[in-house]
Homo-oligomer: A and B are copies of this chain.
Amino acid sequence: MRILYHHPLSPLSRLARVALAEKGLPFEAVIEKPWERREEFLALTPAAEVPVLVEDDGTVIADGFALLEYLEEAYPGQPLMPPEVAGRAEVRRLVQWFTRKFDREVTENLVGEKLVKRVSGQGQPFAPAIRAGLANIHYHLDYIAYLAERRTWLAGSFFSLADLAAAAELSCVDYLGDVPWDENEEAKDWYSRLKCRPSFRALLADAIPGCPPPRHYADLDF
């Protein structure tokens, strides 16, 4: 069985898990704490980052972005990008938008400060960062709503990695209860469509020892 080394608080890990599930590819999910810099893990990836995929034949796919592209190329069934090149570019632009810009401006400031620091023992939450994250999330929800109002899915008519990337980031923040869903109906409607997908079940069952999620986190009617 292929193995995915991941961490529930890593948005790129969540993205890899839902992408594998959307493609119907079975995998064993192994939690890795990258901050422990385990020697066997470093041998798989010198960057020491989750996710890392190890295929049955021993092929190692390290780096979250390389992993997404690999899945599209190696398992073209259930594609998560449209066929036309400009549409694929729009998917990739949005994947980068969410996994880098949203991540830096929102997720790192909230999940990084409040949860990752706690579970990894890397210091105290930095209050100004948390305030910045709580301010920035409004602009990002507005952008999601802007896209969702104009398109069936975030990158266009095709359900894609752009939707999964946005939902992977948001689901981490939602684990804290820090997404102001009631302020933004369009974004909430779009997210509820994602949350209902079978590929999301495993994410909604995540539970960090000692830090349970709020009740609405796994609720499909939130």
Residues of A within 8 A of B (CB): 46-47, 59, 61-63, 65-67, 69-70, 73-74, 85-86, 88-90, 92-93, 96-97, 101, 143
* Closest chain B residue, CB of each to CB of A67: B89
Number of copies: 2
Residues of B within 8 A of A47 (CB): 93, 96-97, 101
A69 to B92, Cβ gap below 8 A? yes
Residues of B within 8 A of A89 (CB): 61, 63, 66-67, 69-70
B143 to A93, Cβ gap below 8 A? no
A88 to B73, Cβ gap below 8 A? yes
Report the Cα distance A101→B47, complex, angstroms: 8
Q: A70-B85, A70-B88, A88-B69 are in contact. Are A97 and B59 (CB under 8 A)?
A: no
CB of A13, distance to nearest CB on chain B (Å): 15
* Closest chain B residue, CB of each to CB of A101: B47
